[in-house]
Amino acid sequence: MLRNDRSLMRLIKWTAAVAATAIAVGVPGGYLLANHARERGELVGEIEVKASQVSQIISGNPDFWSFEGLRIRALIADLDKPKDPALHRVLDEDGQVVAQSPQQEPAFSWPVMTEERALFSYGVPAGKLIVTHSLRSVYENALALSVFSFILGALAYWALRVVPLRLLNNAWMRISYLANHDHLTGLPNRMVFRERLEQALQDASGSGKLVCVLALDLDRFKDVNDTLGHAAGDLILKRAADRIMECLRPVDTLARLGGDEFNIIRIGDADPAKVAELAERIVEALDRPFRVEESDIVIGVSIGIAMGGRPETCDAGEVLKNADLALYKSKRSGRATYHFYREEMNREMSARKSLESDLRKALVKGEFELHYQPQIRLQGQRITGAEALLRWHHPKRGNVSPAEFIPVAEATGIIRPLSEWVLKVACRDALAWSPLVVAVNLSPALFQNVDIEAMVSRALSESGLPAERLELEITEDVLMSDTANALAVLEKLKALGVQIAMDDFGTGYSSLSYLRQFPFDKIKIDRSFIGDIGTHEGAQAIVQAIIRMGHALKMRVNAEGVETIEQANVLFGEGCEEAQGYLYARPMPKRDIETLFQATRVLDAAAGEASQLAVRSA
Ligand code: C2E
Ligand code: MG
Ligand code: MG
């Protein structure tokens, strides 16, 4: 590219120089040559004619020089060309001038053109005729023309060299700007960022200064882009870039790497506290709402920080990888925060990578199992159903918690075959438990591009489980991103006849509006509220409010994570229908829960018989 640019420039310069020279020299030169040729032609024609005329006059008269002098002089007087005279000289055989036209110097000053012809008397040489013609006017004209053509040449040079070079230069500047900058925010792009980082690290390795890289990722940008559209998304990106810029010094580099990713290079701050201060300022700046289309939108940013330069690494790739690892840590620990890179993060990441690869094989190797936790109707303390909870028995790590592997499954797409397996097994297991209900958790990731309706109806038809005995638990996250699509999917599921429960209620963002939009069959109060009953003031009031609201919306209420009899009593007192928790039973394998169901059935039957006996004896 660069070589092409240079040869194009050289071509333009040469073309301009050649064209300008051609005009400046070629025009007067051409004029001069053409006129020279014309003048000579005329002179030759004239001297031929006159030489033969003089020869005629002198032929036949041996004393011609004395007698014919007048005629000869009249012939060469050149009276017909007073403005453009020629000097004619007739010389005798001895070279003596015998006749001459009247013109004299300075009319014949340089430059002149001379032609001579021999004169004959009866074929015998008798002298010669010399005609001298001044070219002064031709040269004067050529000189005047050369001034004009020099100006013309200079103009041509300007038009052919200066203008195209300037245009070319502007085009190159534009192309290189576009190639190096992000078109939306005008910030340097990934390529420039990388170059500057490499340069900064190279300088730092000599000077001992530290180079700090902050990797930024906007937290809820994707949701905004999906719901409000790309125009709003673009606006937010521009404003976010402005806000970040306001936190920086002019010497810092802020680049947009693409999407909602920004990176910063800061040179010279060796004190982590100062860098932390900067990160805090940026987090605060992006935590303030953005006003878009009449509504306030909170985006937030997560930041990962890594140091480069001595004594840290001077490899740009490694510094960037470290900053990304720290960013990942910030994302996982609740967003709108920052983390510095630590050595352990590498280990955590490789552990996650190996978890990922093990997870891919686990389904085929049959390492998954469903455990079931009973759900109890508080009125009468009867089991109404059980929640299916996934367990992974890893051959080396032992039991891995779903809280650890479900996010990995979601991020890698394994969630799809895994959910299909859970649904099938849960429906098949529950078939024998009539009339109890089985609850299955659905990941929000499934709502993005999986046909859940088909997946659920396949599980129902293959197992033969009546739809009303399947309950699907979703969390508020499902309704957070593409609400319209999520509601449509929920309607379709509802149409199949299954029940829908809102899981972990109270932990999301705006629970209330979603409850109005979809008729959930059940709300499950998150166990954090239940655990706080009796220890945190206000927890009971929140639980009471959720129960009342659920009832007002004609939804049953389940309390998750009930561990003490006191909690159960409070919940019962508040009118909560259902509970689930270690107080009653921990999640257990299929065999155990079936034994439990059997035992409760026997107990129920015995209780029924006892009450009948009591009635009879009464
Ligand atoms: P969840 O759906 O809210 O499930 C309830 C969690 O609370 C379960 O944790 C359960 O073991 C635990 N739990 C039940 N009673 C008590 C109690 O009294 N005290 C305490 N401290 N905990 C209790 P688990 O099995 O570790 O599951 C965690 C989460 O993983 C689940 O939360 C659910 O969101 C997810 N999960 C589990 N299985 C699946 C699955 O098959 N698919 C999907 N997508 N997610 C699943
Ligand atoms: Mg659940
Ligand atoms: Mg829950």
pLDDT above 90 covers what percent of the chain? 57
Which one of 344, 376, 395 terminates a domain? 344
**How does 558-595 read in b/e, with b if 16+ C-beta sit within 10 Å?**
bbbbbeeeebbebbeebebbbbbbebbbebbebeebbe
- Whichever domain contains 449, its CATH number is 3.20.20.450
pLDDT tens digits, one per residue of 334-357: 788 999 998 887 787 788 889 989
What integer pLDDT is reported at residue 79 of this predicted model? Answer: 58
Q: For 153, phi and psi rounded to 5 degrees? A: -65, -40
pLDDT tens digits, one per residue of 551-579: 999 999 999 999 999 999 999 999 999 99
Asked whether 258 and 190 are in contact (CB, 8 A), the reply is yes
Average pLDDT, the chain: 89
Q: How far is the CA of 365 from the centre of ligand 2 (A)?
A: 25
Q: How far is the CA of 464 from the centre of ligand 1 (A)?
A: 26
| Same domain flag for 380 and 321 | no
| Same domain flag for 435 and 384 | yes
How far is the C-alpha of 603 from the C-alpha of 3, rounded, in Å?
91
Q: How far is the CA of 387 from the centre of ligand 2 (A)?
A: 7
Which one of 139, 160, 178 terminates a domain? 139
| Ligand 1 pocket residue status of 504, Cβ below 6 Å | yes
Which tokens is 295 given?
Answer: 């509504």
**Angle, to 10 degrees, between the axis of helix 452-463 and the axis of helix 415-430?**
30
Which one of 70, 104, 139 terminates a domain? 139
| Same domain flag for 134 and 24 | yes
How far is the C-alpha of 343 from the C-alpha of 193, rounded, in Å?
24
- Whichever domain contains 270, its CATH number is 3.30.70.270
Q: How far is the CA of 389 from the centre of ligand 1 (A)?
A: 6
Asked whether 493 and 457 are in contact (CB, 8 A), the reply is no
What strands lie across the sheet with 261-267, from one edge to the other?
A: 253-258, 261-267, 211-218, 301-308, 338-340
Per mean pLDDT, which range of 69-78, 200-209, 324-333, 516-525 is the poorest?
69-78
Is residue 589 pLDDT above 90, yes or no? yes
Q: Note whether residue 481 is domain-resident.
A: yes
DSSP secondary structure letters along 492-519: HHHHHT-EEEEEEETSSS-HHHHHHHS-
What single DSSP character describes residue 160? Answer: I
Q: For 108, phi and psi rounded to 5 degrees? A: -110, 30
Which tokens is 120 given?
Answer: 């004959």
Is residue 80 pLDDT above 60, yes or no? no
Q: Note whether residue 158 is domain-resident.
A: no
What integer pLDDT is reported at residue 46 of this predicted model? Answer: 86
| Same domain flag for 211 and 324 | yes
What integer pLDDT is reported at residue 151 of this predicted model? Answer: 93
| Same domain flag for 97 and 27 | yes
Number of domains in the chain: 3
Domain of residue 108 covers: 2-139
pLDDT tens digits, one per residue of 422-439: 999 999 999 999 999 999
Q: Note whether residue 184 is domain-resident.
A: no
| Same domain flag for 327 and 458 | no
| Same domain flag for 129 and 236 | no
Residue in 376, 389, 416, 447 to alter for ligand 1 test, most ligand atoms within 8 A of Cβ: 389
- Whichever domain contains 72, its CATH number is 3.30.450.20
Q: Note whether residue 152 is domain-resident.
A: no
Average pLDDT of 500-515? Answer: 80
Helix (H, G, I), strand (E, B) or coil at 169: helix
| Same domain flag for 515 and 415 | yes
DSSP secondary structure letters along 257-274: EETTEEEEEEES---HHH
| Ligand 1 pocket residue status of 582, Cβ below 6 Å | yes
| Same domain flag for 218 and 327 | yes
| Same domain flag for 501 and 416 | yes
Q: Note whether residue 533 is domain-resident.
A: yes
Q: Note whether residue 451 is domain-resident.
A: yes
pLDDT band with cut points at 50, 70 and 90 for residue 82? low
pLDDT tens digits, one per residue of 84-132: 667 888 888 888 888 888 765 545 667 888 999 998 888 888 889 998 8
**Closest residue (by CA) to atom 42 of ligand 1?**
441
pLDDT tens digits, one per residue of 448-478: 878 999 999 999 999 999 999 999 999 988 8
| Ligand 1 pocket residue status of 122, Cβ below 6 Å | no
For residue 473, which ligand has an atom nearest its CA?
2
Q: How far is CA 158 from the centre of its chain?
A: 40
Q: Note whether residue 299 is domain-resident.
A: yes
The number of helix segments (H) and strand segments (E) in the chain equals 22, 21
Q: How far is the CA of 383 from the centre of ligand 3 (A)?
A: 18
Asked whether 253 and 265 are in contact (CB, 8 A), the reply is yes
Q: How far is the CA of 506 from the centre of ligand 3 (A)?
A: 10
Alpha helices in 307-370 (DSSP H): 316-332, 343-362
**Angle, to 10 degrees, between the axis of helix 539-552 and the axis of helix 565-573?**
40
| Same domain flag for 94 and 130 | yes
| Same domain flag for 454 and 525 | yes
pLDDT tens digits, one per residue of 239-272: 999 999 999 999 999 999 999 999 999 988 767 8
Average pLDDT of 583-605? Answer: 92
| Ligand 1 pocket residue status of 567, Cβ below 6 Å | no
Beta carbons within 8 Å of 576's beta carbon, 6+ residues apart: 378, 525, 543, 547, 557, 558, 559
Q: Note whether residue 356 is domain-resident.
A: no
